[in-house]
Chain A
Amino acid sequence: GAVVSQHPSWVICKSGTSVKIECRSLDFQATTMFWYRQFPKQSLMLMATSNEGSKATYEQGVEKDKFLINHASLTLSTLTVTSAHPEDSSFYICSARQVARVTTDTQYFGPGTRLTVL
Chain B
Amino acid sequence: GESVGLHLPTLSVQEGDNSIINCAYSNSASDYFIWYKQESGKGPQFIIDIRSNMDKRQGQRVTVLLNKTVKHLSLQIAATQPGDSAVYFCAEINSGGYQKVTFGIGTKLQVIP
Contact = CB atoms under 8 A, between A and B. Distances in A.
Do A and B assemble together? yes
B93 A104 contact: yes
A56 B21 CA distance: 34
Given A41-B6, A104-B34, A110 B43 contact: yes
Nearest to B48: A105
A63 to B, nearest CB: 19
B95 interface: yes
A97 B36 CA distance: 16
What bracket does the count of chain B residues touching chain A fall in? 20 to 34
Given A41-B8, A42-B6, A46-B100, A111 B105 contact: no
B38 to A, nearest CB: 8
Given A41-B6, A44-B103, A109 B98 contact: no
Given A41-B7, A41-B8, A44-B44, A97 B103 contact: no
Kindly list the 6 A-B residue pairs having the minimum CB-CB distance in the complex, ordered from nearest: A109-B43, A43-B103, A44-B103, A109-B44, A111-B43, A112-B43
Interface of B: 6-8, 32, 34, 36, 41-46, 49, 89, 93, 95, 98-106
Interface of A: 4, 6, 32, 34, 36, 40-46, 49, 51, 57, 91, 93, 95, 97, 104-105, 107, 109-112, 114
